[in-house]
């Protein structure tokens, strides 16, 4: 199973990627919303794990919504370090407050994937 990890903070992204790989997932990385959207168009992942706050005009909510246009059943996991962010998750998603534990994300991926169509 492939997970697209979208995180602009390199250290946070490295920790997430390493933890997911140790759990047996293949990982595709993106450091920006634009890079993530390009990966979504290529259908490179089975699950999207995205930070909400990203540099530029698009955020993680936008990434998920646009990825879901071409892949409606894509499970989505959001993460944010900002407690004042008002959630607008897509259906079939969960979100975590940073800092999160990698095990939480791994379990969420497995739970969401089990419920995904296909």
Whether pLDDT at 96 is above 50: yes
Q: For position 116, what pLDDT does the model report?
A: 59
3-state secondary structure of 15: helix
Domain boundaries, the chain: 2-115
pLDDT tens digit sequence for 43-81 = 889 999 999 999 999 999 999 999 999 899 999 999 988
Mean pLDDT in residue range 84-89: 68
Which residue has better confidence, 22 or 90? Answer: 22
Residues 6+ apart with CB under 8 A from 54: 6, 8, 32, 33, 60, 63
pLDDT (0 to 100) of residue 88: 72
Angle, CA 53 vertex, CA 21 and CA 83 arms, to 5°:
100
CATH of 2-115, one of 3.40.50.300, 1.10.460.10, 3.20.130.10, 3.40.50.2300: 3.40.50.2300
What confidence score (pLDDT) does residue 113 get? Answer: 82
Which H or E element spans position 106?
helix 102-115
């Amino acid at each position: 199973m492939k997970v697209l990890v979208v995180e602009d903070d390199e250290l946070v992204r490295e920790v997430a990627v390493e933890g997911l790989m140790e759990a047996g997932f293949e990982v595709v990385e993106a450091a920006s919303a634009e890079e993530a959207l390009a990966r979504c168009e290529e259908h490179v992942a089975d699950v999207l794990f995205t930070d909400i706050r990203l540099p530029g005009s698009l955020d993680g909510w936008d990434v998920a919504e646009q990825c879901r246009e071409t892949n409606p059943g894509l499970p989505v996991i959001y993460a944010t370090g900002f407690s004042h962010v008002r959630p607008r998750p897509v259906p079939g998603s969960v979100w975590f407050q940073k800092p999160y534990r990698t095990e939480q994300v791994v379990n969420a991926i497995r739970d969401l994937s089990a419920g995904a169509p296909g």
